[in-house]
Amino acid sequence: MGRFAEKSSNKKKFLKRQNINKFLLFRIIYVGNLDYPYKVWKEGLKLFYVKHSKIYHKVGASSGEEVSEFSAYWYYKNSLVFRFEQLRGLYKISSISYYFLRKPILILKWWIKNHKIIIPLLKGIKHAIYRN
C-alpha cells in the first residue's frame, strides 16, 4: 500500500499527453500492447488485470483477418526493437536468441502459407537491427 501511495502522485504526471507520447513512441503499431505496459511498470506504476474487460481490434490478424505485408513488417521490426531497447541481461540474450532461432521455422511457414510476407518480415528485422 505504501509503495502504491508513493507512486500514485506520479500517476497524474504520467497520464499527461506528452508523457503518454514519450512512453508510446512509435511502437504503438503491433507491439504497443507489450511496450506500453512494460514502460508503465518500469516507471513503478501499478498495472491491473481487469477480468471482464474486452478489447476489440477493428482490423488485423488478431481479429481473424489475414496477416498483411504491412503488419508483418511492423510486428517483426517492433518486437525486435522492444527486445533491444527494453530488456537487459539474460532476459535480453535469451529473448533475442529465441527470436532468431525460430525465424527459419517462421520463414518456412510463410513460404507455404503466404510467401509475400517473407520480404516485409526480413526488411522489418533489418530495419530493427540497423535503425538510427
- Give pLDDT tens digits for 9-21: 455 555 555 555 5
- Tell me the CA end-to-end span of the chain in Å, nearest whole number: 41
> In the structure, what pLDDT confidence band is assigned to residue 103 with cuts at 50, 70 and 90?
very high
CA dist 23 and 89 (Å) reads: 22
CB 74, CB 30: distance < 8 Å: yes
Please give the model's pTM, rounded to 2 decimal places.
Answer: 0.65
CA dist 113 and 85 (Å) reads: 31
Count of structural domains, the chain: 1
* More confident site: 37 or 12: 37
Count CB atoms within 10 A of the CB of residue 103. 14
Residue 5 has pLDDT above 50, yes or no: no
Which domain, by its residues, includes 53?
2-129
Spell out the alpha helix ranges (H) of 1-132: 2-15, 17-24, 28-42, 69-86, 89-101, 103-113, 118-129
CB 40, CB 89: distance < 8 Å: no
